[in-house]
Structure 1
């Protein structure tokens, strides 16, 4: 299957964007079901000695060994539901790699966001593949080089799209989903990844 890819070739990055990866009927069904059946949480992170709730709702699913640490928190995975296992199998087939965990982020409105970061935690290994499935409202996804404040490229992540980040991307680039005052529908993002056991880091 050939995909149209609106991404420019960015140095030191492997990015592929599949705009219409899912048909709209399946995308609508997955969005509705996942919003209703996911036990959403809003963890707090510590910044400068104070606790702040993250500006979105989250849930972490995975194989039993796929504990994931980010923002100073260790997330123990919930067991795969039949629906998430089916979605994982479809994503694995698309990227040609096994994936043992998925972080669900629920952006309720334009004030929910994700700050600048790289997915470069040790348990992801050296050149991690991150497969990001987008459902619901379209949000802007920004990329900048590490050490720079300038946004190098922005991409609109649409309902039913799949963004795959691989190779050296996380070493050299950061990404964000910024707050917006523009009205936008609730958005659900599923980022699949492969957590390596601690002895393989």
Structure 2
């Protein structure tokens, strides 16, 4: 099922079963999205992501950063990060997200994709550090990219096109039953920053 070129309806669940995903469309307009993108590119402490796969450390081209209310530790792919203090821009985007969704968040994982050749493989955000069944809100800035969901058992696919300035939220038991990814594409030459606001409880 593809959800391209469909008018966003924040009240509609994009998943047919076993979870809740709502796409709000644009949270901020194009000019504001470009301003935030440039600010984050210049002020965030970006680092190449690291993962341990089959006992071997892999360093990705994609860059990441981890921010929060406190120096929370967050472990995924067998690597641990300690959260940095919020920047002004991140706090502004967090407040906009909380007002729009009615949720609250205490941390944010950012990803920087330099172009469409960089993506993210199938995974679920179910790390033990995160609030179980808590909401994860995703803001996209820069290049528009396809985002895909796949049911762990039925293998049903749901694809949604995330434009710059847009907001998507995953909640309830979505991470138990679905995996998601950002597929690479040669059609995109521009960079994209993705912010995923989360709630850490294991601190």
Give the alignment's TM-score, normalised by structure 2: 0.89
Once residues 168 and 72 of structure 2 are traced to their aligned partners in structure 1, the CA distance between those partners, rounded to angstroms, is: 22
Cα distance in 1 for residues equivalent to 2:188 and 2:26: 23
Which residue of the partner structure matches residue 189 of structure 2?
184
Residue 26 of structure 2 corresponds to residue 20 of structure 1: yes
Partner of residue 116, structure 1: 122
Q: Which moved further from structure 2: 95-104 or 158-167?
A: 95-104
Instruction: Looking at secondary structure, tell me which structure has more strand per residue.
Output: 2
Normalising by structure 1, we get a TM-score of: 0.90
- Residue of structure 2 equivalent to 1:51: 57
How far apart are 1:32 and its partner, in Å?
0.9
Alpha-carbon separation, structure 2, partners of 1:113 and 1:7:
25
Report whether the alignment pairs 1:197 with 2:199. Answer: no
Note the C-alpha offset of 1:72: 0.7
* Cα distance in 1 between the residues matched to 2:81 and 2:16: 32
The answer as to whether partners of 1:138 and 1:184 remain within 8 angstroms in 2 is no
More off after superposition, 6-15 vs 28-37: 6-15
* 1:94 matched residue in structure 2: 100
Find the counterpart in structure 1 of residue 3 from structure 2: none
Q: 1:172 maps to which residue? A: 177
Q: 1:173 to 1:55 in 2, by over 3 A?
A: farther
Q: Which residue of the partner structure matches residue 157 of structure 1?
A: 162
Aligned 8 A contact 2:9 2:24 in 1: yes
Determine the C-alpha separation between the residues in 2 that align with 1:82 and 1:38: 11
Matching residue within 38, 42, 45 for 2:44: 38
Residue 43 of structure 1 and its aligned partner are, at CA, apart by: 2.9
Q: Does structure 1 conserve the Cα–Cα contact (< 8 Å) formed by 2:130 and 2:202?
A: no
**In structure 2, do the counterparts of structure 1 residues 102 and 58 end up closer, same or farther at CA, with 3 Å as the change threshold?**
same
TM-fit CA distance, 1:183: 2.9
Q: How many residues are matched?
A: 196
Contact 1:143 1:153 in 2 (8 A): yes
Query: What CA RMSD, in Å, does the superposition of the two structures yield over aligned residues?
Result: 1.9
Report deviation, 1:167: 0.7
Q: SS at the partner of 2:64?
A: strand
- Indicate the SS of the match to 1:46: strand
- Structure 2 distance, partners of 1:184, 1:7, is 31
Residues 1:144 and 2:150 are matched in the alignment: yes
Cα deviation, 1:44-71, whole Å, max 9, x if unaligned, reads 2121232211241100001115221111
